[in-house]
A and B are shown apart, each in its own frame.
Chain A
Amino acid sequence: MSSRVVWLGLAVAAVVLLAVGSVHGPESSASARVAYLESVLKCPSCEDLSITQSDAPSAVALRHRVLRWVDEGWSDAKIEQAVVSSYGEAELLVPPAGGVNATLYILPVALIGLATAAVGWHLFGRRRVERGGG
């Protein structure tokens, strides 16, 4: 059996296994949703802690409300909106992507793109130019 066939088999096996393993992943369970929401919502009386990380009474109360809302079938967006309505936007540990906050998302992508282009040039383009130049 040629090495190419072995590698093709390994690649197919990895893709199939990852696809099978992705079904019903931990991300989709109710407890995972609660864990995510608890990590996204800031403890109202703390400076920089999520409600998971704090045992302040306000954090404990908000944890109980999140549990109740998830049990009642609220979506993540609706829960986040309810918290923002009560406490303001700074209550979210992931700032909404609009306005000046867009920088937080655009800048890394732009920098990684630029750096990739620079590395690509270093690895490929520069040699072509050198070869072309003589």
Chain B
Amino acid sequence: MNAILGQVGVALGLLSAITGAVALLGGLLFRNDAWLRAAPGTVWGVLAGALLATGAMEHALVTHDFSLAYVADNNSRETPLLYSVTGLWAALQGSILLWALVLSGYLAIMGHRYRARVTDRLVATALLSALVVTIFFFGLISGPANPFVTVAGRPPLDGLGPNALLQDNPLIAFHPVFLYLGFVGLTIPFSFAIGALVTGRLGEGWLVETRRFTLVAWAFLTVGIVMGAWWSYQVLGWGGFWAWDPVENAALLPWLCGTAYLHSVMIQERRGLLRVWNLALLVSAFSLTILGTFLTRSGVLVSVHTFSDSSAVGPSLLGFFGLVVASGVGLIAWRGDRLASPGSIDSPISREGAFLVNNLLFAAFAVVVLLGTVFPLLVQALDNQQVTVGTPYFDSIAVPLGLALLFFMAIAPALPWRASSLAVLRQRMLGPVSFGVLVIAACVAAGVRGLTPLAAFGLGAVAGGSALRQIVLATASSQRAGTGAWRGIVGRANGGMVVHIGVVLVAVSLASATSYGHRAEFTLRPGQSVSYEGHRIEYVGSHPFHQPNRSGIVSAVRVDGAVFHPAISDYPGYEGIGTPAVDSSIRDDVYLTVNGVASNGAGSATIGVVEQPMVMWLWVGGVLTALGALLAAFPARRRRRDSPWEGRVAQRGSLPGMDRAEMAELSGEAARVAAGVAE
């Protein structure tokens, strides 16, 4: 029954998407508005199909319907309910179904939102592009990645269960979902970019339409990546959170392109510049989500995060990636004559000058990550050699690029648009730079050593100080204007500053944890303790445990008086899976693993200890970054044509610490926030 319902859902979604695409194509080709108007309604059929298919799969997982091969491979009668539900994304076929569901949701929002404007050829073409992407993914789950294939003969009495790592921590319920919400969300701005290119309406209108979609997708992707790092930290047992693994890199690549785009798009909106660049970034961000899926799901690259692969989807994904790139590049080349910028950047000492350099750095970062990820594959194909590109290579490039990005993140908010002077920059940056030097001095006085981490702390302080300065000025300005102090953190520019503070926390935490971490291993008898990096660690004892889905040994380890329980678990088919325990504080984390203990828990145990400073700030920074993105996307009030805002600011004069030019910028910013147009 589940198989039939699922197949019906997939067929409904696919047919609805095809119907919508045909109606749009026909409407566009034959200039038939009735067909165009009929098309948005089909998105509800797509969503209904995706919901039916997903519901059928979830029902099959929760009721252990082993007649489905996917359930037999990724579920067992002992699998807890939570991990039965998350079994939907425990392997390739279910993951593609989740992708289709998320895409259907975005498509429904798009179709509903633009239903009244679908006779606009740009909107119609954008919806057609999104439907073509939808057809591809429904095509995958109808064919090479069909999750509703039934087992041959009698269904097994029990299934294999999910991979042990996918039933060891509840974070698995959230991290992949957020990641997919980010990946798939990029489909909407990509579709509008294609619409703009096809119709030749390459002004700034389509950018304004897709700005919030892009920001929301970026925020989801950010949360997904940070949650993925947290999951790795909590589950994999080596105390790290980022390993430049192909799956991690596949998520980072579109994030880098998306971050570059969110900055450069402001130059196009303000000045009409960088049109080709922005289109290229959107095409790159979307196509890299497809390439990443191909690299990590087709079996061509191996990753600790790849829990299943299927060479059957490889050619389809690669072919679709080629189609996306060829379409994007081809259309940009075709529309080259209309994409010429109406002017150029007036001065390198300007907001757009700093954004241009930051875009260069983000692009370089993305190229290096892509090159390092695919290099082993290329060398093997071309030279039949086996090489491995690991963390040290990526770090050697990422660290200088990261420091340069912190530098430009610090100065860009202080620079006005169009043109400025060094004198203005000096005046605005004096406070943040003084703060940065003070932080370095405090670190050196406290005995902190190392050029790279000190540079990261100093630049982080300058960037954080610069962002905080903007928030304080915007908040004070809003308060004086009577629009409420809270508006100082709302809107793209102000929310962006909250994002900057979050990114600074992430950067400082990364520099601290990776530069000053320590790891050791102690073999201790019950009751025996050691001092390690300022912590008292005592081994209390171990005992076996048995749960429906796993058994093993759990140890009790006292760290500075509090007891933690690292374990070694055996799942059906997977033995000796370590479950770490973490004593987390704002100062440092003490990460505990059981590396060796007798099977009955008696006698001494070997305890692995990793001490890393400031790890908690990585998660706090991630949350703040996502919160800032939401504030940046926050819908401001509707336009008030008689808004007295600008005049009132002008009458009252400038705020302390703000020059006249900055007052004008801020009043313009606040006016846009109040008007609800630019933000």
Interface residues of A (CB under 8 A from B): 3-4, 6-7, 10, 13-14, 17-18, 20-27, 31, 35-36, 39-40, 42, 47-50, 52-55, 60, 88-95, 100-101, 103-104, 107-108, 111-112, 115-116, 119, 122-124, 126-127, 130
Contact A26-B390, Cβ < 8 Å, known A100-B382, A116-B360:
no
- What 1/0 mask marks residues of chain B from 315 to 358 whose CB sits below 8 Å from any chain A CB? 00000000000000000000000000000111010000100110
The residue in B236, B353, B393 that gathers the most chain A C-beta atoms within 10 A of its C-beta is B393
B453, A26: Cβ atoms under 8 Å? yes
A49, B455: Cβ atoms under 8 Å? no
Q: Which of A14, A90, A95, A119 contacts B356 (CB 8 A)?
A: A119
Contact A18-B451, Cβ < 8 Å, known A48-B302, A122-B356:
yes
Q: Which of B240, B344, B383, B426 contacts A100 (CB 8 A)?
A: B383
CA distance A17 to B382 in the complex (A): 48
B450, A53: Cβ atoms under 8 Å? no
Please name the residue on chain A nearest to B364 by beta carbon: A112
* Residues from chain A with Cβ under 8 Å of B360 in the complex: 112, 115-116, 119
* Residues from chain B with Cβ under 8 Å of A108 in the complex: 364, 367-368, 371, 397
Q: Which of A49, A53, A104, A115 contacts B375 (CB 8 A)?
A: A104
9 further A-B contacts with Cβ under 8 Å, apart from A22-B454, A112-B360, A115-B363, are A21-B443, A21-B449, A39-B392, A55-B593, A89-B386, A89-B387, A108-B367, A108-B397, A127-B344
B458, A48: Cβ atoms under 8 Å? no
* Residues from chain A with Cβ under 8 Å of B389 in the complex: 93-95, 104
- 8 tightest CB-CB pairs across the interface, nearest first? A93-B390, A25-B450, A47-B302, A22-B451, A90-B386, A123-B348, A53-B238, A21-B454
* Residues from chain A with Cβ under 8 Å of B392 in the complex: 36, 39-40, 93-94
A17, B437: Cβ atoms under 8 Å? yes
* Residues from chain A with Cβ under 8 Å of B444 in the complex: 17, 20-21
- 5 A-B pairs with CB atoms under 8 Å apart are A18-B454, A89-B386, A90-B388, A104-B372, A111-B364
CA distance A14 to B391 in the complex (A): 30
B449, A124: Cβ atoms under 8 Å? no
- Interface segment among B153-161, B221-229, B484-492, B511-519: the answer is B511-519
A68 to chain B, nearest CB (A): 14
- Interface segment among B42-50, B61-69, B427-435: the answer is B427-435
A55, B388: Cβ atoms under 8 Å? no
- What 1/0 mask marks residues of chain B from 285 to 318 whose CB sits below 8 Å from any chain A CB? 0000000000000000011100000000000000
Within 8 A of A (CB), among B364-416: 364, 367-368, 371-372, 375, 379, 382-383, 385-393, 396-397
Within 8 A of A (CB), among B270-285: none
A90, B449: Cβ atoms under 8 Å? no
* Residues from chain B with Cβ under 8 Å of A52 in the complex: 238, 240, 519
A21, B371: Cβ atoms under 8 Å? no
A115 to chain B, nearest CB (A): 5
* Residues from chain A with Cβ under 8 Å of B443 in the complex: 21
Interface residue B675 (Cβ < 8 Å from any Cβ of A): no
The residue in A42, A47, A92, A112 that gathers the most chain B C-beta atoms within 10 A of its C-beta is A112
* Residues from chain B with Cβ under 8 Å of A39 in the complex: 390-392
A48, B348: Cβ atoms under 8 Å? no
CA distance A72 to B396 in the complex (A): 28
Q: Which of A3, A122, A126 contacts B427 (CB 8 A)?
A: A3
The residue in A27, A48, A52, A108 that gathers the most chain B C-beta atoms within 10 A of its C-beta is A48
A26, B388: Cβ atoms under 8 Å? no
B344, A122: Cβ atoms under 8 Å? yes
CA distance A50 to B382 in the complex (A): 25
B440, A21: Cβ atoms under 8 Å? yes
Please name the residue on chain B nearest to A3 by beta carbon: B426
CA distance A24 to B444 in the complex (A): 12
A42, B388: Cβ atoms under 8 Å? yes
B427, A14: Cβ atoms under 8 Å? no
Interface residue B578 (Cβ < 8 Å from any Cβ of A): yes
CA distance A21 to B412 in the complex (A): 27
Interface residue B34 (Cβ < 8 Å from any Cβ of A): no
Interface residue B464 (Cβ < 8 Å from any Cβ of A): no
- What 1/0 mask marks residues of chain B from 561 to 574 whose CB sits below 8 Å from any chain A CB? 00000000000000
Interface residue B208 (Cβ < 8 Å from any Cβ of A): no
A75 to chain B, nearest CB (A): 17
CA distance A93 to B375 in the complex (A): 12
CA distance A55 to B566 in the complex (A): 15
Interface residue B441 (Cβ < 8 Å from any Cβ of A): yes
* Residues from chain B with Cβ under 8 Å of A92 in the complex: 388
Interface residue B237 (Cβ < 8 Å from any Cβ of A): yes
Contact A26-B437, Cβ < 8 Å, known A93-B393, A119-B360:
no
A107 to chain B, nearest CB (A): 6
Interface residue B654 (Cβ < 8 Å from any Cβ of A): no
B454, A119: Cβ atoms under 8 Å? no
CA distance A127 to B444 in the complex (A): 44
Interface residue B448 (Cβ < 8 Å from any Cβ of A): yes
* Residues from chain B with Cβ under 8 Å of A112 in the complex: 360, 364
CA distance A88 to B385 in the complex (A): 11
B598 to chain A, nearest CB (A): 17
B278 to chain A, nearest CB (A): 14
- What 1/0 mask marks residues of chain B from 412 to 427 whose CB sits below 8 Å from any chain A CB? 0000000000010011
* Residues from chain B with Cβ under 8 Å of A95 in the complex: 375, 387-389, 393
Q: Which of A22, A40, A48 contacts B450 (CB 8 A)?
A: A22
CA distance A35 to B158 in the complex (A): 44
B434, A123: Cβ atoms under 8 Å? no
* Residues from chain B with Cβ under 8 Å of A13 in the complex: 437, 441
